[in-house]
Amino acid sequence: MMDKKNLCVLDYTPQLESLFTIIRDRETKREDFIFYSDRVIRLLVERALNLLPSDVKKVITSTGSEFYGARFRGHICAVSIVRAGESMEKAVRDVCKKIRIGKILIQRDEATAEPVFYYSKLPEGMSERIILLLDPMLGTGGSVCKAIDLLKEKGVKEEK
């Protein structure tokens, strides 16, 4: 049974519905499919960033006034599950300046249907960072679970 407190779904807005309509239409051209899929991914990344912990930060504006805003608590890092996760990297780079991105290659064994780890290239110090795990292809969840296990083995705490 899924733990719903850890589940976050994009609001099904008219914008999202129209984006899905375009990318699901068999008449949509390849370049349009890519463009509108990237928009959906960008919405998803923006939503994920809204879930990150933050602290209050006071700044002085150009008029000399105090403004109480926010800043992320800690640094973030993205880890892409090769190949599908790479489709999400552009959106992450577009909204997260100078973000480090790691790679994990996990493929399903066709005989057993179990995920098999093949390769990882992960940034230094990632155990101290909040991880955005990039994988748009969630079928059984086997690859994501395997990636999470690997990240935990590398010292990343589950809450990160």
Residues 72-129: tens digit of each pLDDT: 888 899 999 998 889 999 999 999 988 999 999 998 888 888 889 999 999 998 888 9
The radius of gyration of the chain from alpha carbons, rounded to an integer in Å, stands at 18
- Torsional sign, CA 115, 51, 152, 103: positive
Cα–Cα distance, 23 to 73 (Å, whole number): 35
pTM of this prediction?
A: 0.83
Question: Which domains are delineated in the chain?
Answer: 11-68 (no CATH), 74-153 (3.40.50.2020)
Q: Please answer whether residues 115 and 107 qualify as being in contact, where contact means their C-beta atoms are separated by less than 8 angstroms.
A: yes
Residues 11-29: tens digit of each pLDDT: 899 999 999 999 999 999 9
